[in-house]
Amino acid sequence: FKVSRMEKPHLVTCTAPVNIAVVKYWGKRNEELILPINSSLSVTLHQDQLKTTTTVATNKSFKEDRIWLNGKEEDVTHPRLQSCLREIRRLARKRHNDGDATSTDLTGLSQKVHICSINNFPTAAGLASSAAGFACLVYSLAQAFGVEGELSGIARQGSGSACRSMYGGFVQWIMGNQEDGKDSLAQQVEPESHWPELRILVLVASAERKPIGSTSGMQTSVQTSGLLKHRAESVVPHRMEEMIKAVRGKDFAAFAELTMKDSNQFHATCLDTYPPIFYLNRVSQQVIHLVHRYNRHYGETRVAYSFDAGPNAVIFTLQQHVPEFVHLVQHFFPPETNGENFIKGLPVKHAAASEQLKQSVGLEPMPKGINYVISTKAGPGPRVVKDPSLHLLTPDGFPKP
């Protein structure tokens, strides 16, 4: 007879990126399956600066599924979380029944999971934490259960924009037409290596929670905004084509103008929602003025902004303009410190902006308007972490202290 012994859990750790939409997703046609009213396009940010890390453990001895987010145990019965777990388990069973699973896959099918996830950036500060979080969850579960193939449709059921975080570089989420959502998937337009000069600066104006979460905000917009309907039907389809063309051709001026116009229209639909939703604050508006006046000074579009459902600005520019523009940000939004720790991420060379440029911009400085700047670039999709010392769970399958 066999001596039953406590088997060690099977551990898998993965990381996944944040993405920033340059053609925005706002509004669902199906709440449950998370099917959008329009297609969208995003840039995946580099995981060296912003990422979610998730460890999944499976073990026969686990009594129930459990999840810990940023050090705190959360409700595992959350419907969106359950959708992802259910879909991955369904695919794993299907793969096993079709006979193309390896022997190690069989044991895990009925086992419960322990999931532990951390972000290296503030959650819910308008930094697309749910996109990175659900992309990482789905990718890690797929690794743990031996599931391969198209995963963006499963990530979409966790958080719409999460489907775009399943790929690196420039990614489109095709809205699809089918009722069951099988054709509402993400697709890479170009890899992260396509446009190496492109740089992204996240201007963190506030790390507080959003006054109105995206999910409820969207529902109200769909119900009350006529502008949103017009946007989805008459503006976005052509804009998607133009944006893909601009990305493929590395045409920064076209990319920048489309990005700013789309951000502005998204916030116009928020304002057209009844009652209206305000995500931008005084700092956000000041950043918008700064960008337009900077571009006007040079007579060309060197910098673009984009805002999601929150006040933080995401700035797109080319590498050669980063030092001067960052200096302007520091000048017009003087930080508390002398700029140490003001810039995180990719190093930025020191550069001074001319007095003429500062006068040309001519804004009233807003001290401490921006907490810090994250300097980053386009990056790859989800990755498996090979180093076992980086697991977030102990060998017993519980969060490391």
* Domain-wise residue ranges, the chain: 2-192+381-390, 198-376
Continuous H helices in 184-340: 214-224, 226-230, 236-248, 252-272, 282-298, 322-332
What is the structure's pLDDT at 183? 98
What is the structure's pLDDT at 93? 94
CATH pick for 2-192+381-390 out of 3.30.465.10, 3.40.50.1820, 3.30.230.10, 3.40.630.30: 3.30.230.10
What is the structure's pLDDT at 211? 67
Cα–Cα dist 295/209, whole Å: 31
Q: Tell me the pLDDT tens digit for each residue of 242-282.
A: 999 999 999 999 999 999 999 999 999 999 999 999 999 99
Q: Which CATH class is domain 198-376?
A: alpha beta
Which portions of the chain are predicted below pLDDT 70? Answer: 1-6, 100-108, 122-126, 128, 206-211, 338-339
3-class secondary-structure state, position 280: coil
What is the structure's pLDDT at 3? 40
- The tokens describing 371, both together, are 């907490």
What is the structure's pLDDT at 99? 79
Q: Which residues are CB-contacts of 367 (< 8 A; sequence separation ≥ 6)?
A: 333, 334
Q: Tell me the pLDDT tens digit for each residue of 285-306.
A: 999 999 999 999 999 999 999 9
Ramachandran sector of residue 260 (left: φ over 0; alpha: ψ -120 to 50; beta: rest): alpha
Helix, strand, coil percentages, rounded to 5, for the chain: 40, 20, 40
Given this chain, do its domains 2-192+381-390 and 198-376 carry the same CATH topology?
Answer: no
Nearest CA to 259 among 41, 98, 80, 47? Answer: 41
